[in-house]
C-alpha cells in the first residue's frame, strides 16, 4: 500500500495529464523520417526527487529518442572533464534568440553562441574524449546512462534517419570547423552528435537525469557523483537562459524552471535542490518544443509555485526540519549553503544550543557548500567549543562528504 503522500502526488500528475490531453496543435518532426512515424497521442510525465523518489503518470515509460534534450548533459560532461574555461574557448554562453538550427556564430571569435543550439552542441560533442566518432559516442552514451541510472542504447534506425537528412547540421559543422571552434573533423563530430541525439530514453529517465542536476551532480538513485557540483550549477544556468531556444525568455517568465526541449517530444526541467521533471508528448510547436509538454510545465509552475524566482522564504530556508533524539537536537539541512544560508542558520539555531545535549547539523540533504562556508562549517565544533560537561555542543553529520575540500 503506497503512502498517502504518494497517492496525493499520483493524483496531481494524473490530473495534470488529463488537462493536457485535449491541448491541440503541433506537428511531428517529419523532417526526420523515423520521428514522423511515432504515435502523436503519447503523453507522459515523471518527477524524481533529490531523495531518489520517482513518481510517474501516463506514458512515462514509453521510449523515444532524446534528441536535443541531450545537449545540457553532454555540456555537463565536457565541462566536468575539461573545465569551464577550456570549453568556453570553443562555445559561448549567450542566448542566440534564434531557432535551434540557426547559423549563430560570434562575430569576433567564430564560436557558436551557446551549447544548446545545434552548432554549439556539435562543437561540444567534438570536445568529448575519444579520437573517433565511435569512441566519443560511447563516452557520451555511458555518461547519459550515469545520469539516468541505467544503461542506455542508441536507436540505430533513428540514427540512420538523422544521418541521412543532415545537410544543415553538416553545414553548421563545416562553418564551426572553418572558424577553429570544432576540435575534430566534421565527420567525427557530427557522427558522435547524431548518435547522441538518437539515444532512447523515457520520461522517467529524463526526470532522474534532471534530478541529478538538481542534486548538484549526484544521481539520487545510485548515489554516484556523475559530475561536479560546479558543472551541475553551470549547466543549470545555461539551461535557464538558452534551453528553450528563441522562446527562452518567455519560458523563464511563464514557467521559471531551467529546462531543455527536444524534437523527439521530450522536455526536461530542473528545480534546483528539490527535483527533476521529464515530460513526453511528440507534437511540436513552430519552435520545436512539445506542445503538450509546454502546457504541462506551465500548469505545474502556475498551480504549485515552482518558478525559481518566486520561492518564498520558507522554501529557501536551508533548514528542512528540526528533530530530537534524546537530549540531542538535529537540524536537517538542505540545498546549497552559502553566506546567506549560514547567517540564517546562526540566527535560527542559536536557541537550540546549550543544555545537556548536542546540536547536530545533518548535511545529508545538502547539495553544495561554498568554499569559504565549507571551512567555517568544518571548524564550527571547535569554534563553538564544548558543553559544560565536556561533550561537544555542536556536531556535524556529513554522510556524503559535502564538506570534503576536494568536492
Q: Is residue 71 among the annotated active site residues?
A: yes
- Active-site residue, from 193, 281, 366, 369: 193
Spatial contact of 47 and 276, defined as CB atoms under 8 Å apart: yes
Q: CA triplet 84, 169, 26: central angle to 5 degrees?
A: 100
- Active-site residue, from 69, 71, 199, 218: 71
Cell 555542536 locates to 394
DSSP string, 387-407: -TTSSBSEEEE-TT-TT-TT-
Spatial contact of 152 and 145, defined as CB atoms under 8 Å apart: yes
Distances in Å between the Cα of 143 and the Cα atoms of 70, 147, 214, 216, 275 are 10, 6, 17, 16, 20
CA distance 241 to 24: 27
Spatial contact of 287 and 242, defined as CB atoms under 8 Å apart: no
Distances in Å between the Cα of 97 and the Cα atoms of 100, 114, 206, 235 are 9, 11, 25, 19
Q: Is residue 193 among the annotated active site residues?
A: yes
Q: Is the four-CA dihedral 241, 242, 243, 245 of positive or negative sign?
A: positive
- Give the bridge partners for 26, in sequence order: none
- Active-site residue, from 154, 218, 255, 263: 263
CA distance 102 to 112: 10
Exposure b/e, 141-172, CB count within 10 A at least 16 = b: bebbbbbbbeebebbeebbebbbeebeebeeb
Q: Is residue 161 among the annotated active site residues?
A: no
Spatial contact of 280 and 266, defined as CB atoms under 8 Å apart: yes
Cell numbers at residue 280, please? 513526453
- Active-site residue, from 49, 68, 248, 259: 68
Indicate the length of the chain as a whole number.
Answer: 407
CA distance 115 to 327: 52
Based on its alpha-carbon atoms, the radius of gyration of the chain, rounded to whole angstroms, reads 22
- Active-site residue, from 56, 245, 248, 259: 245
CA distance 101 to 167: 11
* Catalytic center residues: 68, 71, 193, 245, 263
Amino acid at each position: 500500500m503506497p503512502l498517502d503522500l504518494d497517492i496525493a502526488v499520483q493524483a496531481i500528475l494524473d490530473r495534470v495529464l488529463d488537462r493536457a490531453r485535449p491541448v491541440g496543435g503541433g506537428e511531428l518532426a517529419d523532417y526526420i523520417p523515423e520521428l514522423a512515424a511515432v504515435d502523436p497521442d503519447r503523453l507522459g510525465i515523471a518527477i524524481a526527487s533529490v531523495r531518489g523518489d520517482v513518481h510517474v503518470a501516463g506514458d512515462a515509460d514509453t521510449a523515444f529518442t532524446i534528441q536535443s534534450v541531450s545537449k545540457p548533459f553532454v555540456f555537463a560532461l565536457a565541462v566536468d572533464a575539461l573545465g569551464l574555461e577550456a570549453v568556453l574557448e570553443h562555445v559561448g554562453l549567450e542566448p542566440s534568440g534564434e531557432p535551434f538550427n540557426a547559423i549563430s556564430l560570434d562575430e569576433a571569435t567564430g564560436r557558436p553562441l551557446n551549447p544548446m543550439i545545434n552548432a554549439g552542441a556539435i562543437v561540444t560533442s567534438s570536445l568529448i574524449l575519444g579520437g573517433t566518432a565511435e569512441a566519443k559516442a560511447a563516452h557520451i552514451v555511458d555518461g547519459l546512462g550515469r545520469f539516468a541510472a541505467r544503461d542506455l542504447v542508441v536507436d540505430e534506425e533513428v540514427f540512420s534517419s538523422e544521418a541521412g537528412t543532415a545537410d544543415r547540421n553538416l553545414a553548421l559543422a563545416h562553418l564551426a570547423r572553418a572558424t577553429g571552434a570544432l576540435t575534430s573533423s566534421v565527420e567525427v563530430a557530427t557522427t558522435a552528435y547524431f548518435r547522441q541525439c538518437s539515444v532512447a530514453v523515457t520520461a522517467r529517465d529524463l526526470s532522474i537525469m534532471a534530478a541529478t542536476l538538481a542534486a548538484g551532480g549526484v544521481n539520487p538513485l545510485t548515489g554516484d557523483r556523475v559530475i561536479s557540483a560546479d558543472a551541475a550549477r553551470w549547466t543549470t544556468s545555461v539551461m535557464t537562459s538558452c534551453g528553450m531556444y528563441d522562446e527562452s525568455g518567455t519560458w523563464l517568465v511563464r514557467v521559471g524552471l531551467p529546462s531543455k526541449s527536444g524534437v523527439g517530444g521530450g522536455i526536461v526541467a530542473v528545480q534546483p535542490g528539490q527535483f527533476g521533471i521529464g515530460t513526453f508528448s511528440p507534437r511540436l510547436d513552430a519552435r520545436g518544443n512539445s506542445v503538450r509538454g509546454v502546457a504541462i510545465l506551465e500548469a505545474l509552475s502556475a498551480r504549485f509555485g515552482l518558478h525559481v524566482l518566486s520561492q518564498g522564504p520558507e522554501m529557501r530556508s536551508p533548514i528542512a526540519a528540526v528533530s530530537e533524539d534524546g537530549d540531542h537536537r538535529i537540524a536537517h539541512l538542505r540545498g546549497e549553503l552559502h553566506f546567506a544560508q549560514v547567517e540564517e542558520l546562526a540566527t535560527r539555531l542559536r536557541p537550540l544550543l546549550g543544555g545537556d545535549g548536542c546540536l547536530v547539523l545533518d548535511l545529508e540533504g545538502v547539495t553544495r557548500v561554498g568554499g569559504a562556508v565549507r571551512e567555517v562549517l568544518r571548524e564550527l565544533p571547535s569554534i563553538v567549543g564544548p558543553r559544560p560537561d565536556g561533550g561537544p555542543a555542536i556536531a556535524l553529520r556529513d554522510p556524503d562528504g559535502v564538506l570534503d575540500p576536494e568536492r
